[in-house]
Structure 1
Amino acid sequence: MSEESADNGATSPAAPRPTVGRGEKVRAAVLTAALAELADVGYAALTMDGVAHRAGVHKTTVYRRWKDRDGLILDALTGRIAGDIPIPDTGTVDGDLRALARGLAAWLDSPAGAAVLTVMLSDAVRAPGVAELRAGIFADRLRRAEPVVVRAVGRGELPPGTDPAEVIKNLAAPLYFRALITGEPVDDHAADRAARAVLAAARHGGLAGPAEA
């Protein structure tokens, strides 16, 4: 009998939900549940038992795979972030920036995005590895998105010397501001406004690198 079958037996009052399977299926269910718990209850109130209950597995199944809560959170975030915001290639800088901004807006409004923001604003950043993950999230986002700007410069749509990192930061900043500060909707309208603003600034040389500024 597999550990998941044993963990989810009918005699266990801690796991009233149906069994979710085993192996990678269980792992995926637990990681998804961890993100959902982060979004719903926050970092401080998140427990391994709560994650197990939401995932439909026994808590011993969770403890066999993750030694503590912070390790589980780190694994859940790491496993989701890289593929959550697609990097577009529409053929124009206008289309790319708009699509990139809309992708970010959708992510910020999703359970995964909410979970990441919860961690960023909580004591979780004091946990080993989580602070590095926070820095890595943004560094990875910049690295993945910078080709959008590099291609635009190569096509002559943006002036030489335009700083890719500055373009992406200025594109994302108003959306994060809405999500974290004002609580305004982070939707396609907000994304389109951010894309138009950053494109105008970049076209007029306002986002050049240090040597060109």
Structure 2
Amino acid sequence: MESASSTPARPVGRGRKAQAAVRAATLAELLDRGYAELTVEGVAQRAGVHKTTVYRRWKTRESLVVDALAEHFTTDIPTPDTGALESDLRALAQALVQSMTDPVGKAVQTAMLSDAGRLPEVAEARRRVFADRIRRAEPVVVRAVERGELPAETDPAELFGTLAAPVYFHLLISADPAVEDTAERAVRITLAAARAGALTRSRHSAADDGEA
């Protein structure tokens, strides 16, 4: 039986539609074949475009994978606005769990932790992903500060890192199946730490900013 990638998709033309098809095909190839066996030709065939269309925008296989990963992670976790910090954090944690446990998310995590993870381009993609998720946490922190739920100097990066760390640990290190319970505990820990002022910008960071 032929794999999905061996059957050409319908042509999608050029422009944004083609780019979206190529990114989706890249993630699908990661899921089916893994990073080691992914090829530009296979991606192009699955996407329904000529390989020159792919190479016109992405010069290498690595840059194609990095772009697909970054695009996936910038759309997988929305910024919640439930009206309360606790429910906002719960929504963030649940979206993170969903992102990391669906088939595409698992394939992406595998690629990032495989040999591909040592590539400077993939390391940059991880940095971009985390920076994007911090940006998504910023409105949650701003609104919580305005409602009086958090200290004014709460750092969005510290807050999201505290929320995400238990989820990453249980999914990537311990492989704990009770990840939903882990996400709920992460919310409670993050709430307690943030309300106690433990997630504010450090004096060291403030000093660094003053020297800049």
Query: When you count helix as a share of all residues, which structure comes out higher?
Result: 2
CA shift for structure 1 position 28: 2.0
TM-score, normalising length: structure 2: 0.79
Aligned-pair RMSD on alpha carbons?
2.7
Are residues 200 and 54 of structure 1, via their aligned partners in 2, closer, same or farther at CA, if it must alter by over 3 Å?
same
Decide whether the 8 Å contact of 2:12 with 2:48 is kept in 1.
no
Between 118-127 and 70-79, the greater mean CA deviation after superposition: 118-127
Are residues 209 and 75 of structure 1, via their aligned partners in 2, closer, same or farther at CA, if it must alter by over 3 Å?
closer
CA shift for structure 1 position 169: 0.5
CA shift for structure 1 position 87: 0.7
**Equivalence for 1:33:** 25
**Equivalence for 1:164:** 156
Q: Is the counterpart of residue 103 in structure 1 residue 95 in structure 2? A: yes
SS for the counterpart of 1:84 is: coil
CA shift for structure 1 position 124: 2.3
Q: How does 1:122-161 map to 2 (within 5 A)?
A: 122-161=114-153
Are residues 18 and 100 of structure 1, via their aligned partners in 2, closer, same or farther at CA, if it must alter by over 3 Å?
closer
Tell me the distance in 2 between the aligned counterparts of 1:181 and 1:187. 12
SS for the counterpart of 2:20 is: helix
Are residues 172 and 138 of structure 1, via their aligned partners in 2, closer, same or farther at CA, if it must alter by over 3 Å?
same
**Equivalence for 1:17:** 8
Q: Is the counterpart of residue 191 in structure 1 residue 197 in structure 2? A: no
Q: How many residues align?
A: 199
Tell me the distance in 1 between the aligned counterparts of 2:39 and 2:118. 17
Decide whether the 8 Å contact of 1:175 with 1:186 is kept in 2.
no
Between 194-203 and 44-53, the greater mean CA deviation after superposition: 44-53
Decide whether the 8 Å contact of 1:171 with 1:195 is kept in 2.
yes
Are residues 52 and 63 of structure 1, via their aligned partners in 2, closer, same or farther at CA, if it must alter by over 3 Å?
same
CA shift for structure 1 position 139: 1.6
Between 48-57 and 134-143, the greater mean CA deviation after superposition: 48-57
TM-score, normalising length: structure 1: 0.78
The unaligned stretches of length 5 or more in structure 1 are: 1-13
Bigger radius of gyration among the two: 1
The unaligned stretches of length 5 or more in structure 2 are: 205-212
* Segments ≥4 residues shifted beyond 6 Å: none
Are residues 153 and 65 of structure 1, via their aligned partners in 2, closer, same or farther at CA, if it must alter by over 3 Å?
closer
